[in-house]
Amino acid sequence: MSTKSLLFILFLFNLSFAQDHHKFDESEWLGVWKGNLKILYPSKAQEVSMLLEISKTDTPGKYKWFTRYGEGTSALSKEYYLLSVDSEKGNWILDENNSIIIDMYYTNGCFYSLFEVQKSLLNTIYRLEEGKIKFEVLSSKTDNPNVSGKNEGDLYEVKSYPVFVVQKSVLSKERY
């Protein structure tokens, strides 16, 4: 299938969605969520506890988004803010409170982001499904992609970025 055909199919698919596929139901998302984060490298795996707390602020469309990985003195904690930019179009941002802002896209119960830091491409997904948040991060290096295809006719050059680590967690709501 050519790239043009694929883009056309994606365009038609996008038009067929119902109007409420960007509806964020805060009553489902707000709370303290806990689980274990599995970090899967090609040659080893490790596991740490994970906590995600999503709570209201005094500003409509702005939520506190707090994460903690691990326990005790070795725990890594970060406080962010999730802000609605244009919720009808699924546009949100995750503000790290340090001049870093990550674009988030919300549709059908999922927050998606794709960003690059220190020559690594990270694709994150927070999926609310069956009362649990399923969290996943795929990480790839950007400095040495596999390049295939040609730039002629309907065939385009394609760059593939091999995944070097996967992080996965299933978080259960502890309280709100």
Q: Could you state, in order of their start, the residue ranges of all structural domains in the chain?
A: 36-175
> Which two three-digit tokens encode residue 92?
């949100």
CB distance 84 to 106 below 8 Å: no
Mean local confidence (pLDDT), 53-71? 96
Query: Of 108, 113, 78, 109, which is closest to residue 92 (Cα–Cα)?
Result: 113
pLDDT computed for residue 8 by the predictor = 61
Backbone phi, then psi, for 31, in 5-degree steps? Answer: 145, -175
CATH superfamily of 36-175: Calycin beta-barrel core domain (2.40.128.20)
> Which two three-digit tokens encode residue 77?
């904690």
**pLDDT above 50 (res 25):** yes
85-106 pLDDT, tens digit per residue, is 998 899 999 999 999 999 999 9
Task: Read off the pLDDT band of 79 (50, 70, 90).
Answer: very high
pLDDT computed for residue 176 by the predictor = 66
**pLDDT above 90 (res 19):** no
Using DSSP bridges, classify how beta strands 76-86 and 31-40 pair: parallel, antiparallel or unpaired: unpaired
Least-confidence region, from 4-8, 29-33, 147-151: 4-8
pLDDT computed for residue 150 by the predictor = 81
Q: Which residue has the higher pLDDT, 73 or 8?
A: 73
Alpha helices in the chain (DSSP H): 3-15, 26-29
End-to-end Cα separation, the chain, in angstroms = 47
